Amino acid sequence: MNSYDRIARVIRYLDTHHTQQPDLAALAAQAGLSPFHFHRLFSAWAGITPKDFLQYLTLAHATALLRAGDSVLDAALAAGLSGAGRLHDLCVSLDSATPGEVKSGGDGWIVEYGLADTPFGICLIGRVPRGICHLSFVDGEPDADPRVRLRAQWPRARLRRRDSMAAQLAGRIFDRGVPSATGEPLRAVVKGTPFQLRVWRALVQIPPGTAVSYGRLAQAVGHPGAARAVGTALGRNPLAYLIPCHRVIRETGVIGIYRWGRARKRAMLAWDSASPVPAVDRGAGPGVKVSS
């Protein structure tokens, strides 16, 4: 069996068995190779890893079911996932900038940025080569230079304004339709401490229409006594709405403060509740993949 036949056989197998979520060993067995050699061969031929290919098929299947009217939970289970939260996590994955990228301050990078209208006001979106790096709301600051915020994150990067890019991304992020027209998630990259990243990753698994308390979120990240530290991590969230810190409320049920305004937080919670499918799956509408 030559390389093409091996890969074609695995792809045909995935077409009919992706709802079983086969692992790398099972796929390698179909190709008659060790997991190591199969992973290398598949990545070279398909251009993506076997895991990424399986995720693409899973998300595409779930998207089709959502379009057909299935609930988020039913679509997730039918696609072979453990639940709605798993589908949401598939669309939104958060990775960190590498130590080298943090140290260089974006040296050699071009940060594309722009302003765009959203259901919650004007936002500033920044994108680096590996994905979205910034999303914040700027209304109330009409004369502020948006580049100041971006330079604080990536001081050595070159900045290039592209409002059309920002508008296109905003359209996907705040789309209340199905996860993604292409089945491909948005990608994002963030800078933060290990604890902040743990909190942010936990946040992207909170389904739209659901709220969690600071204490419960602290428990979820393995630090039950760190509710205050969780609040600090939320205050440093670099991706408004994509990392849904607006879904965190006080133990008493009070909405609480929000970095971009309490009224906006209420509007976002109402928007989430009315959305037919995961809003973050905007990428979540689109899926968000935050890469490292």
d(CA 290, CA 292): 7
Q: What is the CATH number of domain 83-292?
A: 1.10.10.10
3-80 and 83-292: identical CATH topology: yes
Q: Are strands 110-118 and 121-128 parallel, antiparallel or unpaired?
A: antiparallel
Q: What is the pLDDT of residue 158?
A: 93
Q: What's the whole-model pTM score? A: 0.62
Q: What is the pLDDT of residue 184?
A: 56
38 burial class (0-12, 13-18, 19+ CB within 10 angstroms)?
Answer: buried
From 91, 123, 133, 245, the catalytic residue: 245
Per-residue DSSP letters for 167-196?
HHHHHHHT--SSS-SSSPPEEEEE---HHH
Q: What is the pLDDT of residue 88?
A: 47
Amino acid at 256: G
Q: Are strands 212-213 and 248-249 parallel, antiparallel or unpaired?
A: parallel
d(CA 246, CA 248): 6
Q: What is the CATH number of domain 3-80?
A: 1.10.10.60
d(CA 266, CA 252): 16
Q: Residue 5 CB: number of other CB atoms within 10 A?
A: 11
Amino acid at 250: R
Tokens of 274: 């009315």
Amino acid at 288: V
**Catalytic residue check, 91:** no
Domain ranges of the chain: 3-80, 83-292
Q: What is the pLDDT of residue 123?
A: 92
Q: Residue 182 CB: number of other CB atoms within 10 A?
A: 13
Q: What is the pLDDT of residue 70?
A: 56
Per-residue DSSP letters for 10-41?
HHHHHHHHGGG---HHHHHHHHTS-HHHHHHH
Q: Are strands 131-137 and 158-161 parallel, antiparallel or unpaired?
A: unpaired
Beta bridge partners of 137: 123
pLDDT of the chain along its 292 residues, tens only? 677 678 878 888 887 787 778 888 999 998 899 999 888 888 877 666 787 777 666 655 655 555 565 554 554 555 454 444 444 444 545 567 777 888 888 888 899 999 999 888 899 999 988 889 999 998 766 557 878 888 888 889 999 999 999 999 998 888 754 444 444 567 888 888 888 888 888 887 777 777 788 888 888 888 888 888 998 999 899 999 988 899 888 876 667 778 888 888 888 887 776 654 333 333 333 334 444 3
Q: What is the pLDDT of residue 211?
A: 79
Q: Which of 210, 229, 205, 220 is nearest to 268 (CA)?
A: 210
State the residue for tokens 């969230």: 237
Q: Which of 186, 179, 201 is nearest to 135 (CA)?
A: 186
Amino acid at 34: S
